[in-house]
């Protein structure tokens, strides 16, 4: 099975320091939905892996999060793409859970549920926490410059051996052309 793991905020949609709290605030990064659709059309199964501390901070509730995800799925369907699963951590950074990236708990759950290893599976993110979580399970971290990614590049904080792309569309193009 060809699998790709994607962070949500900053990779698929524009991020906000005040959280994406409603479906109205969710706006796709240009080209990201088309990129996911291309990946789907080329045999990839797409799984979202996202920290959602706004739940713990009561910035939004699970119903609002479901509406955000419904909008994302509906907009993606217009391009013929699908998301196979969405895994999220509802905890804040001080709760010290195992599922909040950079810890690998969500990724281990995915591995266990699918009964597959995540070694060398591409994980696209825009933060160090995405890179660290990917590395903890042997996945292949990919950084995009969208979201918080460009700031990491500018600050020379990207670890060695992490591929850097302009956006999810460039990642999809490269993965598809490599097959």
By annotation, the residues acting in catalysis are: 7, 9
Stated as kind and residue range, the H or E segment containing 123 is: strand 122-125
User: d(Cα 31, Cα 12) in Å, to the nearest integer?
Assistant: 9
How far is 104 from 109, CA to CA, in rounded Å? 9
Q: Using alpha carbons only, give the angle 59, 60, 61 rounded to the nearest 5 degrees.
A: 140
Specify the length of the chain in residues. Answer: 179
Residues whose CB falls within 8 Å of the CB of residue 24, separated by 6 or more in sequence, listed in order: none
Task: Give the largest Cα separation in the chain, rounded.
Answer: 44
CA-based torsion, 28, 143, 90, 83: positive or negative: positive
Q: What is the DSSP letter of 90?
A: -
């Amino acid at each position: 099975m060809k699998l790709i793991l994607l962070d949500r905020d900053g990779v698929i949609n524009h991020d906000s320091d005040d959280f994406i709290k409603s479906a109205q605030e969710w706006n796709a990064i240009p080209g990201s939905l088309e990129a996911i659709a291309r990946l789907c059309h080329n045999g990839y199964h797409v799984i979202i892996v996202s920290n959602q501390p706004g739940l713990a901070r009561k910035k939004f509730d699970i119903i609002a999060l479901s509406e955000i995800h419904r909008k994302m799925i509906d907009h993606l369907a217009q391009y013929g793409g699908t998301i196979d699963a969405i895994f999220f951590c509802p905890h804040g950074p001080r709760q010290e859970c195992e599922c909040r990236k950079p810890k690998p708990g969500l990724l281990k759950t995915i591995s266990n549920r699918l009964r597959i290893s995540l070694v060398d599976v591409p994980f696209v993110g825009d933060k160090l926490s995405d890179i660290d979580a990917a590395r903890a399970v042997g996945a292949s971290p990919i950084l995009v410059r969208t979201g918080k990614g460009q700031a990491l590049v500018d600050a020379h904080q990207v670890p060695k051996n992490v591929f850097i792309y302009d956006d999810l569309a460039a990642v999809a193009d490269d993965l598809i052309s490599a097959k």
